[in-house]
Amino acid sequence: MGIRAVIFVIIGLMLGGCMEETLQPATEAGWTARDKQLMSNLPYAQAAIPEEFKRHIVEFDRKEAPGTIVVDSDNKFLYYVLPNNKAIRYGIAVGEEAEAWSGVAKVGRMEQWPAWVPTSGEQARLGPLPAFVTGGPHNPLGARGLYMYSGGKDTLYRIHGTNQPEYIGQAISSGCIRMTNEDVMDLYNRVKVGTIVVVLAPHNQTAPFTAHVAESTTTESSY
């Protein structure tokens, strides 16, 4: 293909609104000294995340206000809504369909390197598990935890990091949303307690949308 033809193809893609902008890997600018120390000695292998599940700036045509988190479990994406019909799209791993949660909640609590107390259901399904797992890169909750509350009550639904980044883009967890540790730290630095989280129902057909790429707690929590 000649240079002129290539130029016309690129212009056509730009006019069609389908050009993708992959964000650079999360920098360490917002990391704490503990983050840098723990992330320098990971007990798991770094995974090659498929391009579509890396962070992108995308066009976003839903009506949620900037600052809202929208979780699209079907397509394995989490969106952080920006002004001017844009969003940051992150790849995620989601809960298996039978255990998925959907609805509207708020971030009620935020934790760095949260501890994990497996629920009784997890003990029965995945055990035997330790009764308590300290925070750190060995912990399934990863580098950050955003705890969803509805009506003033903990939903036991979380957005958190992972020590299994190879599963990003799949449905494998116990019901919560997993992100790479780098991505969940990036998201954590953008949100605050009270942030609205909209989790679309599985196989959502009523409100479709397009997105073209243009310290520790002892609370029982699932992952």
Give the residue numbers marked as catalytic.
160, 176
Q: Give the C-alpha separation, 125 to 112, whole Å.
A: 27
Q: Give the other-Cβ count within 10 Å of 83's Cβ.
A: 9
- The answer to whether 149 touches 185, Cβ cutoff 8 Å, is no
The string of DSSP codes covering 46-98 is PP---GGGS-EEEE--S-PPTT-EEEETTTTEEEEEETTTEEEEEE-BEE-GG
- The answer to whether 72 touches 78, Cβ cutoff 8 Å, is yes
Q: Give the C-alpha separation, 47 to 28, whole Å.
A: 19
**How many residues appear in the chain?**
223
Q: Give the C-alpha separation, 59 to 102, whole Å.
A: 23
Coil, strand, or helix at residue 147? strand
